[in-house]
Structure 1
Amino acid sequence: MKSTKNSRIFSRGSYSESVRISTILRSETVGGALLLIATVVALIWANSPWANGYFDLRDFRIGPESLHLNLSLGGWASDGLLAIFFFVAGLELKREFVAGDLRSPSRALVPIAAAVGGVIMPAVLFVLINLQAGPEVLRGWAIPTATDIAFALAVLAVISTHLPSALRTFLLTLAVVDDLIAIAIIAVFYPGEMQFQFLALALLPLLVFAWLVQKRISAWYFLLPLAFATWALVHASGVHATVAGVLLGFMVPVLRKDKTPENGPGMAEKFEHAIRPLSAGLAVPVFAFFSAGVALGGVAGLKSAFTDSVAIGIVVALIAGKFIGVFGATWLVTKTTKAKLDDGLAWIDVVGLALLAGVGFTVSLLISELSFGADSPHYSHAKVAILAGSVLAALLASVVLRSRNRHYRKVAELEELDDDHDGIPDVFQQGDSIK
């Protein structure tokens, strides 16, 4: 018979995992604030008298044409900098399932199911709304499928700092899993003109990279050129270059060679700790700066955007689709298995997280660029809808989660008690052992 702990969802993780997740959350929250600033600056500049300067900067091309790398600055941001973001996502996801609390199937089931539901339902609603609009419009079906972890955590930090760590871990894991699903969607459904010879060549530096990291060789002057070569060849192949980031992340070993975690973190965790600030603090905000700048065209432009079924579909999918998918999948797991909510939590908490999952931004903007060319009228409408849907989802989540803030503040005060003064909160201890 399963233990009570194993049948609970949103139960408390181990102390070491809680400390690690807290570090990640702080980094992503700061990154989310920078992302919001970059977005606001881009929107203001793109709608100012100096808008031409913004678009000239975004479209300025640089790089060697012979290597298929003569890209605009916006292209370098979406194809290059986001590869760093997905490299970190690959590291995080692999670590969670190899050495994190989610190596337990009972813990992994709920966020994976929620992520899958949160991808399927927004896509279904978008397609239903745009069913009569034709195949060109339906190319945007994947736009509302991803949750932006940096944006969502920035909103969560503003709402409250007192939500249980298990809920924040759930949100983080859900976002990482649906980012992985999103990159798979990009690879399969949004390829460029395929050049299979470059894809085959990309395996060579990737395999050498994998061999070196498996030997625990971490010298940047070996690994960085191999990573760049893998990225460049994947880019030239027609597969979106961010796929290279995930593949490289999956190659990095999680466990130490001596398999003794007490002797220090493994290579994946070291890489994640070193690169996450670059991803959250530079890569994602710069991408947002070059992607979020859209000329709104005043009231008339906004009216035009929201009479487009693409924009309507994105907003509805981000708010209603994400909510139905995430909440519905979580509820379904509890009804079809022995799992149930952990003590002290309520379904209203899941409602708040499901609404917050509708904050789509980074990957949604990326897919909107892949779905509609710059010459398409849907291009700017989709970006406006992503912004509007994300803001509305954040506001609705704020209303729900703030209503729980006072309760969890009191809970947090009890959890922080350390009566034995050993530096570890008593709630993580059972007798003399650390959970």
Structure 2
Amino acid sequence: MSTSQGSHRAGRRGGTPPAGLSLHEQPTQAAPLVVPGAAPGTAPGTVPVAVPGQGTRAGARRAARRRRASGPATGPSGAPGLAKSAGDGLRRLVPQALVVAFLAGGTTAFVADDKTVRLSVDGVPRTLHTFADDVGELLDDEGLAVDGHDIVAPAAGHALTDGDEVVVRYGRPVTLTLDGRRHRVWTTARNVEEALRQLGVRAEGAYLSVSRSAAISRHGLALDVRTERAVTFLADGRERTVRTNAATVREALAESGIVLAGQDALSVEPGSFPRDGQTVAVLRITDSRRVREETVPYAVERVRDPELFAGTEVVERQGVHGLRRVTYALRTVNGVQGRPRRIGEELVREPVSRTVRVGTRRPPASVAGTDGLDWAALAACESGGRPDAVDPSGTYGGLYQFDPATWRSLGGTGTAQEAPAAEQTFRAKKLYVQRGASPWPHCGRRLGG
């Protein structure tokens, strides 16, 4: 709503503004001036005049006030117009005098309501003339819409006076990703550097996705900021601390000069965001394999044999253990070996089962002529009463220390120490019937009691 300074000067002189020079806002139509004496609804006596401020809310309001202050346009008697007795010259002079008086009074009111203010919108100032009563009306007249994210100083309800300064700063949305965390904020800053100061973001040493001098439009801006942080890496028995604005731990590790090789890893996810004061361990990992040979136990097959006395077991075939190769994976982390993990096996040799014949035949109750002898005493002397006893040479075994040949000659199978105690005693009685106590030269006398 700027206006010509020439119009303002014309108003101060009390003269008529020069033709064709607008005063503030151009009226949308000529305002009619009703001359006393003119008949209502008639064109004569009406003179088109440019009324200051016409076409705006402020101008319309002030024109209404002036019309109210001037009073009714009728004569003292209430009859419209002037007396017809007045001369034709008077009728011609009165309208002209009224026009001059109205223009002089209107110009005085116009000068009184006109204000010179300084309006700054987003840092762009300009000086203008206005009839607005307050800041809100000025903004409306200028077509400036504001909302809660904008700054207006003074506030919209503040009354305007000549020489005031009004500042408007529009809010701008900023999608700010600060150290990996996303925020949506509003700022009245016009560039990135000013916005960072407003938001209290420490920009020294920081990474910015756009230049600090980049302008922020009314539509907003997406801004990624990574501030400088201290990250410590533990590797190979040493600590290394770096100051970085890296986006990932992997990038910060590269800045530290530490190199990962082979199966090496980190104590945190390499793609995670490095936090200030964070400590990350570097894990030196070595993978290896080990092959072990393990025994495969053989099975035991027991076969019932009615030819053998009950309680007698004879090994018909010795068992043979099998062999397999087992592969284990070994992992060593920072010099410490972990638990082996079984990853495969191979059978090298099948096991051979052991076959045992088990007697089911009932042994005879006794041998004639031997029942009165003390066989327990003989057994205690020969073997300490142990049915499975074997002498140090490995030749003699059982309760009565039979040698294998003698045992088989008496009908036994296998060896005496493998037979039940009752069968051993039975065959010892048979041997006594054949040879007396001579097979036991040292202990044989125990039989007689």
Q: TM range, normalised to the smaller chain?
A: under 0.3
User: Larger RCO: Structure 1 or Structure 2 (Cα < 8 Å, ≥ 6 residues apart)?
Assistant: 1
TM-score normalised by the chain length of structure 2: 0.14
Question: Which of 1 and 2 has greater Rg?
Answer: 2
The structure with the greater share of residues assigned to strand is: 2
The structure with the greater share of residues assigned to helix is: 1
TM-score normalised by the chain length of structure 1: 0.15
